Amino acid sequence: MKLARAKARGLCGGEEWTDTNLLDRMKDVGFKDRDYFDYCIKLTYAYSHINATSLIWGEVYDDPRLSNQKFTPEAIYGVTAQMLGHVIKALNCKFTDHFTEYNDIWNQIKVDKDIRTKMEKVKNTFDKNIVT
């Protein structure tokens, strides 16, 4: 009964809990294309929900390509630092000239440019193993 009521109100599991469209908001604040969305947002979504992409397949398939495709801490540090730069810039919008170091942060980091290639390799290898 409780479940039926929840369904009627559209409250069942897996549904969005806000009306937020993150991609629209990213475009609004200056992200020019979908790359960042596709390879950060979708990827982290996969890990939040522990879907097949996020399992450590290298532990069960004897394939060196799999065991070498994990994320490096440096890649995650890079994205984290980028986000902190944006946070500080947002603070500076309100408290003008108090938080001007966001450019320093962005200049100091180097995001892992191979993130897309790595993920494609992982996905392709995974698909291949499932078929065989």
- Rule CB under 8 A: say whether 45 interacts with another protein: yes
Confirm or reject binding of residue 33 to another protein (CB under 8 A).
Answer: no
Query: Which residue from 40, 33, 104 is spatially nearest to 76, judged by alpha carbons?
Result: 40
SS3 33: coil
Tokens 């994205």, residue located: 79
- What does the per-residue mask of binding to another protein show for 71-110, with x meaning CB under 8 A? xxx--xx-xx--xx-xxxxxx-xxx--xx-x---------
Decide whether 26 or 65 has the Cβ nearer to another protein.
26
If the CB atoms of residues 80 and 132 are measured against another protein, the closer one turns out to be: 80
Q: Which amino acid is at 111?
A: V
User: Percent helix, strand and coil across the chain, each rounded to 5?
Assistant: 65, 0, 35
Interaction between residue 70 and another protein (CB under 8 A): yes
d(CA 127, CA 56): 14
Write out the two tokens for 14.
């897996």
Dihedral angle, C-alpha 102, 104, 109, 115, nearest 10 °: 40
Stretch that binds another protein, among 15-23, 60-68, 107-115, 118-126 (CB under 8 A): 15-23
> Which residues are near another protein by CB under 8 A?
10-11, 15-20, 22, 25-26, 28-30, 40-41, 43-45, 47-48, 54, 56, 70-73, 76-77, 79-80, 83-84, 86-91, 93-95, 98-99, 101
